[in-house]
């Protein structure tokens, strides 16, 4: 019996030693794991700077740049700008091994539709959103939503602005004040050369777009140039008609002024946009006053087509600037930003050149194809 107990105790001691040894080995394993983890972290840390030398998109080589263009309308100027923007992006992207998916969308002057299109772009994992908003009071909401989604937003034509009128996103557009000033100088010379200053049956009409910040400086430039050249000439026969963007509303504003002033037989009309010239010119033609009147256009992408067809002779000159130029500059900058990380400029403004039916084919830029 004593012998049996002695053997049992011996066996228990052996089992105890095995258990202890097992525990010791288990306890030591985390230390080994920790050492391995530290070694891995050290190796990864050492490799990280090399990985940061090039953007991740560039490493993939065939990445598709998914860019949305959300415009307030599908007018010729905006369509041309969108075409040029897409072409410019491809000119930068394709030689570097990238493809470009460009989505041109019009919100038809509807702010709610505009926000809906932004949400669609975000859901489609847009790499960037190019936008011309239908109402600048929605600027902050647009920028905040894009920032929240991590999608770069770039304004074209009408800036994205805060409540003080300061731009809050990169912007590509035109040199608004100086373009207006050039048009105003031409108008003043025309009035003087054609005897309108002392003609009581001649009137000066400023069509304005007071709710669009990019258009207000155009009218300011027109008025200042007139004042610099002619002082307060024709001030007793100067009228204004405000409208919002579209040709139809410009037509209505012009018609209202013409109807209210039947004593005026010759109109000199200054506009803030090409739709103003198209609408105002149509109203003058409808009233039978086109031959004795003159419209000074700003822009020209659509007017060159009208002049080609022999239309709108009442539009005697354009302070020409083109959405093709704005689109080219914006597209080049956006592609370089997305591919190479090149910083976007805070703003870009294209100047204008005066053109008329005798020289527009030498000056105007035309869309290919």
pLDDT for residue 353: 94
- State the fold for domain 176-322+356-363: Rossmann fold (3.40.50)
- Given this structure, which CATH class describes domain 58-174+325-350? alpha beta
pLDDT for residue 63: 85
pLDDT for residue 265: 98
Domain boundary assignment for the chain? 58-174+325-350, 176-322+356-363
Question: How much of the chain, in percent, has pLDDT values that exceed 90?
Answer: 79
Q: What is the pLDDT of residues 84-139, one digit of tens each?
A: 999 999 999 999 999 999 999 999 999 999 999 999 999 999 999 999 999 999 99
Q: Which of 17-31, 137-151, 197-211, 248-262 has the lowest mean pLDDT?
A: 17-31
Positive or negative torsion for Cα 271, 275, 281, 287:
negative
Q: Report yes or no: 185 and 144 within 8 Å, Cβ to Cβ.
A: no
pLDDT for residue 149: 99
pLDDT for residue 1: 39
Q: What pTM did the predictor assign?
A: 0.73
Q: Are both 58-174+325-350 and 176-322+356-363 of the same fold? A: yes
SS3 per-residue string spanning 279-300: HHHHHHHHCCCCCCCEEEEECC
Q: What is the pLDDT of residues 332-366, one digit of tens each?
A: 999 999 999 999 999 999 999 999 999 999 999 98
Q: Give the CB-side neighbour count of residue 236, counting CA atoms within 13 A.
A: 6
Classify residue 138 by its DSSP letter.
G
pLDDT band of 369, cuts 50, 70, 90: low
Q: Which residue has the tokens 């909401």?
A: 141
Q: Which of 14-23, 268-277, 349-358 has the lowest mean pLDDT?
A: 14-23
Q: Which of 34-43, 205-214, 322-331 has the lowest mean pLDDT?
A: 34-43
């Amino acid at each position: 019996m004593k012998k049996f107990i002695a053997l049992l105790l011996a066996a228990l001691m052996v089992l105890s030693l095995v258990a202890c040894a097992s525990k010791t080995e288990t306890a030591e394993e985390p230390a080994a794991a920790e050492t391995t983890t530290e070694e891995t972290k050290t190796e990864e840390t050492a490799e990280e700077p090399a990985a940061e030398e090039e953007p991740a998109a560039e490493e993939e080589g065939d990445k598709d740049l998914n860019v949305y263009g959300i415009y307030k309308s599908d007018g010729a100027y905006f369509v041309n700008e969108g075409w040029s923007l897409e072409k410019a992006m491809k000119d930068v992207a394709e030689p570097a091994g990238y493809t470009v998916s460009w989505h041109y969308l019009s919100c038809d002057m509807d702010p709610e539709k505009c926000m809906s299109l932004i949400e669609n772009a975000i859901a489609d994992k847009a790499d960037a959103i190019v936008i011309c908003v239908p109402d600048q009071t929605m600027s902050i909401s647009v920028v905040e939503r894009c920032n929240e989604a991590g999608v770069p937003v770039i304004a074209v034509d009408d800036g994205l602005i805060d409540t003080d009128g300061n731009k809050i996103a990169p912007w590509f557009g035109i040199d608004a004040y100086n373009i207006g000033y050039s048009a105003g100088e031409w108008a003043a010379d025309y009035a003087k050369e054609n005897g309108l200053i002392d003609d009581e049956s001649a009137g000066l009409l400023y069509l304005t777009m007071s709710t669009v910040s990019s258009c207000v400086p155009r009218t300011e430039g027109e008025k200042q140039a007139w004042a610099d050249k002619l002082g307060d000439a024709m001030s007793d026969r100067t009228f204004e008609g405000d409208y919002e963007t579209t040709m139809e509303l410009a037509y209505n504003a012009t018609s209202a002024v013409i109807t209210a002033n039947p004593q005026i037989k010759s109109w000199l009309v200054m506009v803030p946009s090409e739709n103003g010239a198209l609408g105002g010119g149509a109203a003058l033609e409808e009233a039978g006053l086109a031959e004795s009147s003159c419209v000074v256009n700003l822009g020209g992408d659509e007017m060159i087509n009208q002049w080609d067809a022999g239309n709108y002779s009442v539009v005697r000159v354009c302070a020409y600037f083109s959405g093709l130029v704005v689109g080219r500059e914006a597209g080049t900058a956006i592609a370089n930003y997305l591919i190479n990380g090149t910083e976007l400029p805070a703003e870009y403004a294209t100047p204008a050149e005066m053109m008329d039916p005798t020289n527009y084919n030498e000056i105007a830029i035309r869309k290919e194809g």
